[in-house]
Structure 1
Amino acid sequence: MMAEIINLRQARKALDRAAKHRVAERNRAANGRTGAEKKASKAEAARQQRLLDSARRETE
């Protein structure tokens, strides 16, 4: 029962590639939207804020 022999250099490089892949996925999610999608989400956020403000009670 011997352990599997691995090349440490290859294992290190595989870990580095996996880490870069995770960072790239996050960046694609954050920055990979079209201008129209960004504009639509900004308009939706503004609409929700207006709706929330109009339902707010005045406390004086």
Structure 2
Amino acid sequence: MADIINLKRFKKRVARDASEQQAAANRAQFGRTKSERASDERSGKRASELLNQHQLNGEDAT
């Protein structure tokens, strides 16, 4: 015979797990310091400038 499962408790546990996963994703996406964001922006801008410098026709990529 199968175990009896309390559906209300099961739904709450699933919701809690989903909420924890969302919180972890938000921490990874938004949990950076201002200096880290600025550093990433500078490196992205530098990479974009290097890419634009290597174009053969000299036109902007935008």
Task: Report the TM-score, using the length of structure 2 for normalisation.
Answer: 0.87
For 1:51 and 1:18, the matched residues in 2 are separated by 43
Q: Does 1:16 align with 2:45?
A: no
Tell me the number of residue pairs that the alignment of Structure 1 and Structure 2 aligns. Answer: 58
Task: Mark the runs of 5 or more structure 1 residues left unpaired by the alignment.
Answer: none
For 1:25 and 1:34, the matched residues in 2 are separated by 16
For 1:44 and 1:3, the matched residues in 2 are separated by 57
Matches within 5 A, 1:4-43: 4-43=3-42
Task: Report the TM-score, using the length of structure 1 for normalisation.
Answer: 0.90
The Cα shift of 1:5 comes to 1.0
Find runs of 4+ consecutive structure 1 residues off by over 2 angstroms. Answer: none
Note the aligned Cα RMSD (angstroms). Answer: 1.1
For 1:9 and 1:58, the matched residues in 2 are separated by 64
For 1:33 and 1:46, the matched residues in 2 are separated by 18
Which has the bigger relative contact order, CA under 8 A and spacing at least 6? Answer: 2
Deviation by residue 1:29-51 (Cα, 9 ceiling, x = unmatched):
11000001000000000000010
Task: Mark the runs of 5 or more structure 2 residues left unpaired by the alignment.
Answer: none
Of all paired residues, the percent bearing the same amino acid is 34
